[in-house]
Amino acid sequence: MDYPFKKIERKWQSVWQKNNFSIWRAKDFGPKKKIYILDMFPYPSGEGLHVGHTEGETGSDILSRYSRMNDYNVLHPMGWDAFGLPAENYAIKMKKNPMTFISKNIATFKKQQRSIGLSFDWSREINTTDPNYYKWTQLIFLKLFEKGLAYKAEAPINFCPSCKTGLANEEVVEGKCERCGAETTIKNLNQWHLKITAYAERLLNDLDKLNWPENIKELQRNWIGRSEGYEIDFPIEFSDKKIRVFTTRADTIYGATFLVLAPEHNFCLKLAKDDYYFLVERYLKKTARQDKTETTGVFTGSHAIHPLTGDRLPIWISDYVLGGYGSAAIMAVPAHDKRDYVFAKKFSLPIKQVIQIPNEKGLPFENYGQLLNSEEFTDLSSKEAANQIGNYLKKIGLGKMTIKYRLRDWIFSRQRYWGEPIPLVNCPRCGIVPLKEKDLPLKLPKLKTYAPTGTGESPLKNAEAWVKTRCPRCHRPARRETDTMPNWAGSCWYYIRYIDPKNKKSLADKKKLKTWLPVDVYVGGVEHAVLHLLYARFWHKFLYDLKIVATDEPFQKLVNQGIVLGPDNQKMSKSKGNVVNPDSIVKKYGADSLRLFLMFMGPFEAIKSWDEKNINGVHRFLIRLHRFGQRLKARSDKTETKIAARKKTEALERLNWTTVKVSHDIETFNFNTAISASMEFLNYLEDNKIYSKKIFLDLVKLLFPFAPHLSQEIWSNLGKKTILDKEKWPKTKTKSAGPRKITLIVQFNGKKKTSLVVDADKEFDEIKNMVLAEPKVRTNLKNAVLIKTVYVKNAVVNFVVKPKTE
Ligand code: ANZ
Ligand code: ZN
């Protein structure tokens, strides 16, 4: 028989909703210890919430409810990351302002989140597209500008010549425009950049302080990509210019047989000699290609001089050397670098081995070793040689040690409408002039059409009345910047605004920031490993340097929920039609079953696939929980005293163990094992007919964070008037769960002689010595011959004996 989950859930949701959800409101300066539990805020898409959001949000909700019961002052907010491409594209199609349907989408999301009982502090809701929010995003940009961390430079955008519009990377699929299929090109535009590279070292080093999954830290480390090496200058033959290369293997310099420049290198055309000019020019035009798997290159006709041997080295150009890394030029050592080797083979360039290699190995050999063919450095180890060669080059003024980062500055311009306007003005007289803080927010104008301009520039270019303004400095006519900020801007600091969302004077009050930061637990998808999580750390460090925030990292602990695959084991997507909508599950089984199921599918951080069949398991558990509550209600309170003392002790022992286990598992995001421990405990109560209200109500408390509606219903059915959010979590006698204990009955020939407490789930061999040491066992065995031992795990050991015959 099912339980009336619809009625129950509706009832408690309306109780929670009273006074605008005041029971979940965080207190700014309360006496309790604080905990800030944050979800990555969603983009309110037209499709509504999907089970991927639901999974993460349920996990953080469990921790939040648990923390409230453990006497924490919990900050658990929600908001909307509402700028972005899908809304803009929809606006173009519908010829409507994106705001109109964003609001509708948000309403849907909120309704869904409430329907699954998520306990957010709604008084702190924020929306990145609200001018009262983006005013502060704009202000942070102005501060970056003021500190020289925002600058304009040429950078490429993807451009579709057929749609005549700039495209985001995700709109280019295999080199083609996602909408019309035309081949895309690259267009260079003057764009805003943020100097995140100025923070590279700190962003890298401070990762060590964070309690984040190791794989995410590693992704960030690789993204930042620190390399220690040498810059070495190779003089160009018949010229006073030099080519600077970056190498991490100065030890292999005697093996350098040619140089390679990136196509973006300034010298490419200058070095192209007579007959080669045309070929070089053609090569440079062609390398805007997307596919760079094929080895291509062109000789410039020029040579450089090897700084140690004086040999002439041909200078080539190839796109396997990146324009944006190191010094955009390399010394090629084909014997010891794979890419150089492939290149040398293809263009028949010399290969010179300079590191000794083991017999069984061939070229290219990329490991370190002992030097060969390297004049006075021969026989040194790679490490020693790199040192000595580096020192020598320094002495003759042709080299120095250096550190390079792979991290590039952040291109911060978007040629879009639906983003924060960049609050700058171009004045013909004063140049680029920032708006005054009092003139923020600079609001987005309403447009007649949101269609692109055709040149790759922002549709704001067409809003002539908005673009035309006066210079904040000299008050002469000037024009506004029309690029907008990328989607990542608003999400760089939203966790700060939650702390003081209505503040009119600053991002947030300093004292409040000091109370709440850092975020203690941040829950979200692994897809944000680099961009969002790196950009937010960058802005946070910048605000730290401005002494606005008092911590130098925003998110102390990070937890990634594993993605939920569709029923077909594929990533859920609209195009595959395998998206599971939580609404249908709530309707069929109730919110508590959905929550429990999402958490019971597997470890929180593991990838799982959706199999609706299995909901029945958790749903039946809830039915049994409900029924047990009904049964208890029907009994008189006297039954409590009828439970045998021994049984009661054992039940309390077990309850203690379950409480410790569930607490520990919630704190470590092992929700699935917390649920199974609770299930086992209910089994135990049922099997042993332990009709104790006191014990059962503690189990109900343990289940409250997972299945809040039903737990609250049972709680109140059994005569409790309080709201469980405000109740205390059950106390435990012990801190660590350790192994679960059971009482093992010891029999001789089927008759109970004694019992002892041992660890649960043990094989007999593991507890044999303890059992044999029991005094009763010893005396009984002394006078008997043991025939066999029958052991039933977690229950009984029976010694079958016969009397000793003298
Ligand atoms: C000579 C050499 C010999 C190198 C050898 C490697 C092995 P990481 O660790 O990633 O920093 N390099 C330098 N600038 C480059 C660029 N703009 N595009 C592509 N490759 C570039 O790698 C540094 C190494 O990558 C450098 O050390 C350089 O090749 C190459 F046996 O110099 B090496
Ligand atoms: Zn001016």
Confidence of residue 114 (pLDDT cuts 50, 70, 90): very high
Which residues have CB under 6 Å of ligand 1?
A: 227, 246-249, 252, 262, 321-322, 325-326, 328, 330-331, 333, 336-337, 404
411 C-alpha vs ligand 2 centroid, how far in Å?
Answer: 26
Whole-number Å distance between alpha carbons of 88 and 333: 49
Q: Which ligand does the CA of 472 lie closest to? A: 2
Q: Which ligand does the CA of 424 lie closest to? A: 2
Whole-number Å distance between alpha carbons of 331 and 261: 9
- Ligand 1: residue of 245, 248, 313 to mutate (most ligand atoms within 8 A of CB) is 248
Q: Give, using CA atoms, the residue closest to atom 13 of ligand 1.
A: 246
Q: Which ligand does the CA of 253 lie closest to? A: 1
Please state the pTM of the whole predicted model: 0.86
- Closest ligand 1 atom to the C-alpha of 323? 17
Q: What is the pLDDT, as a whole number, of residue 643?
A: 79
157 C-alpha vs ligand 2 centroid, how far in Å?
Answer: 29
Q: Give, using CA atoms, the residue closest to atom 32 of ligand 1.
A: 247
Averaged pLDDT, 706-726: 97
Q: What is the pLDDT, as a whole number, of residue 90?
A: 83
- Ligand 1: residue of 337, 367, 401 to mutate (most ligand atoms within 8 A of CB) is 337
Helix residue ranges per DSSP H, 22-97 = 51-69, 85-94
Averaged pLDDT, 101-107: 93
- Closest ligand 1 atom to the C-alpha of 248? 27
**Least confident segment among 370-374, 391-395, 445-449, 522-526:** 445-449
Whole-number Å distance between alpha carbons of 248 and 190: 33
More confident residue, 158 or 437: 437
Q: What is the pLDDT, as a whole number, of residue 159?
A: 85
Tokens 């079953």: give the residue.
593
- Closest ligand 1 atom to the C-alpha of 325? 17
395 C-alpha vs ligand 1 centroid, how far in Å?
Answer: 23
Q: What is the pLDDT, as a whole number, of residue 794?
A: 82
- Ligand 1: residue of 223, 243, 246 to mutate (most ligand atoms within 8 A of CB) is 246
Tokens 């040579």: give the residue.
303
Confidence of residue 669 (pLDDT cuts 50, 70, 90): very high
Beta bridge partners of 502: none
Q: What is the pLDDT, as a whole number, of residue 641?
A: 66
Q: Give, using CA atoms, the residue closest to atom 29 of ligand 1.
A: 247
Is 64 within 8 Å of 121 (Cβ atoms)? no
Q: What is the pLDDT, as a whole number, of residue 637?
A: 67
Q: Which of 48, 129, 46 is nearest to 417 (CA)?
A: 129
In sequence order, what are the residues at sequence separation of 6 or more whose Cβ sits closer than 8 angstroms to the Cβ of residue 709? 5, 8, 9, 12, 13, 117, 590, 591, 592
Say what the alpha-carbon torsion angle 626, 631, 634, 638 is, to the nearest 10 degrees.
-130
- Closest ligand 1 atom to the C-alpha of 326? 14
Q: What is the pLDDT, as a whole number, of residue 716?
A: 97
Q: How many CB atoms lie within 10 A of CB 773?
A: 10
Q: Which ligand does the CA of 476 lie closest to? A: 2
Q: Give, using CA atoms, the residue closest to atom 11 of ligand 1.
A: 227
433 C-alpha vs ligand 2 centroid, how far in Å?
Answer: 7
Whole-number Å distance between alpha carbons of 313 and 764: 76
Q: What would the two tokens of residue 133 be?
A: 């929010």
423 C-alpha vs ligand 2 centroid, how far in Å?
Answer: 14
Q: Which ligand does the CA of 479 lie closest to? A: 2
